[in-house]
């Protein structure tokens, strides 16, 4: 199998998304795609020793060999634990009078 791969490298911030399409040779790795894209120069805050990477939302190590049309993603670190954020939202809605998370009772038995 010869030819080039068409790869997209994606990095998303809350208000901005960087999406770079590039051509790489067969056998290219996730790390090679990130380096070739120039995304590290555009976003110097990216630290690949700490941030996770993936392909189409699935976590993958930097030495993963890519396939044609893969989208390489660099994930930002979580600011808040998702479980904790959900608990906070439920507590807030309960304080505002919501019955979320409580047992549902038929209208006649209230």
pLDDT at position 4 is: 93
pLDDT digits (tens, 9 = 90+) for 67-110: 999 999 999 877 777 788 888 888 888 777 766 555 555 666 55
Please give the DSSP secondary-structure letter assigned to residue 108: G
Say if CB 22 and CB 55 are below 8 A apart: no
pLDDT at position 92 is: 82
Name all domains of the chain by residue range, CATH numbers in brackets.
Answer: 4-74 (3.10.20.30)
What the block records as the tokens of 28 is: 């290219």
| Residue 26 to residue 103: CA distance in whole angstroms | 56
């Amino acid at each position: 199998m010869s030819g080039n791969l068409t790869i997209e490298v994606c990095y998303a911030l809350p208000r901005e998304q960087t999406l770079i399409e590039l051509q790489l040779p067969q056998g290219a790795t996730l790390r090679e795609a990130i380096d070739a894209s120039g995304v590290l120069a555009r976003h110097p805050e990216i630290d690949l020793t700490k941030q996770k990477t993936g392909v189409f939302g699935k976590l993958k190590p930097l030495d993963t060999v890519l396939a044609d049309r893969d989208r390489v993603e660099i994930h930002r670190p979580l600011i808040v634990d998702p479980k904790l954020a959900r608990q906070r939202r439920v507590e807030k809605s309960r304080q505002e009078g919501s019955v979320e998370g409580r047992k549902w009772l038929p209208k006649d038995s209230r």
